[in-house]
Amino acid sequence: MKIQERRRKYLVNKPVQFICSGITIYLIIVVIMLVGGITYFITLNTILNQLELENKIINAYELVRNINFLLAKRIGILILLLIILTFYLEIRFLHRIVGPLYRIEKVFNEIIEGKDVEKIKLRKKDFFKSFAETVNKLIDYINKIKKS
């Protein structure tokens, strides 16, 4: 029975993982701001148009101020929660990419130092399996040369 290895560290290559997470969060914020701005503009214009039709312009500004405050509070909380959730999911997902690259780089450094190297073992959902197989063939070749 094979025991599945559990991840011990999710941040193995911090600079790469943080840069990718930052880019993702930045793009999400830009999209949220665009969609939020367009929705906000359309909603407020509709409200103001309806109030003008009913000749209630004096109360419109107070209503808009209240709506602004309410929307800002709700959108701020939503963006904060979304950033936290995105960062968490991004780190978990990026570990499937960065983890194998970290292991492969570690193996290359050990080969350069002349150490005996074990084959690379990747988890089921990790990326770069074909690259790891190629590196494993290289390891077999190096071990074969050392023996002869």
Q: What confidence category does residue 13 fall into, taking pLDDT thresholds of 50, 70 and 90?
A: low
Task: Retrieve residue 95's tokens.
Answer: 């570990």
Question: Distance of CA 141 to CAs 106, 118, 119, Å?
Answer: 18, 12, 12
The yes-or-no verdict on residue 1 having pLDDT over 50 is no
CA torsion 132-137-142-146 (nearest 10°) is 130
27 C-beta neighbours (distance < 10 Å), count: 11
* Segment 108-132, tens digit of pLDDT: 898 889 888 888 888 888 888 888 8
* Segment 62-118, tens digit of pLDDT: 767 777 777 777 777 877 887 788 778 777 777 788 888 888 888 889 888 988 888
